[in-house]
Structure 1
Amino acid sequence: MNIKKVTKKLSSVRDSIRDNGEVTAQDEQALKDLVNETISIAKRDLKNLRAGMDMPQMPIPHNDNLPLTTEQRFRLSLMEKTGTGSFEIH
């Protein structure tokens, strides 16, 4: 949407309302057209944004369910006993 075009349309509606002293059917239709155009552009942009997110660039992580090593079990038991994070254990 071109901001200059929108500004020009809004200015013409404003001037028409000022000249007529009320909102005419043409003014109301011009405002509705602007709103509808804005909504359609937003929907299109949202659709394009979603389309770009359908194909992730990074591989999807998965749970391979490997058993913990002896060291990992030891560190996990320390964390469970002390209630601390891994920073204090290293």
Structure 2
Amino acid sequence: MEFPIVLTHNNIVLKLFNWMDYPSWKAARNVEAFDKEGNKLWTIESLGGISSTDCYTNISSKNGEIHAFNFQCYDCIIDENNGKVISSAFTK
């Protein structure tokens, strides 16, 4: 898999970076949003929990929402305005 994974959602560009490039002892806030001109808008919020597994492994745009899948098996809906977790659902 090649990183970053790039996804367009509405008028923003999302980039998912390789979580393994981040220190293993703290959360990897590895999703960033940019406007069409390349200006950084926000960095995704940490979900919390166990720091060593608090990272995102996939992003998607479904039904008008940003979904970020967390290594801890949570499907998180992300606020496109600020990168905060709106809701999370355990999927395992």
Q: TM-score, normalised by structure 2?
A: 0.18
Larger radius of gyration: 1
TM-score (normalizing by structure 1) = 0.18
Query: Which one has a larger percent helix, Structure 1 or Structure 2?
Result: 1
Higher strand proportion: 2
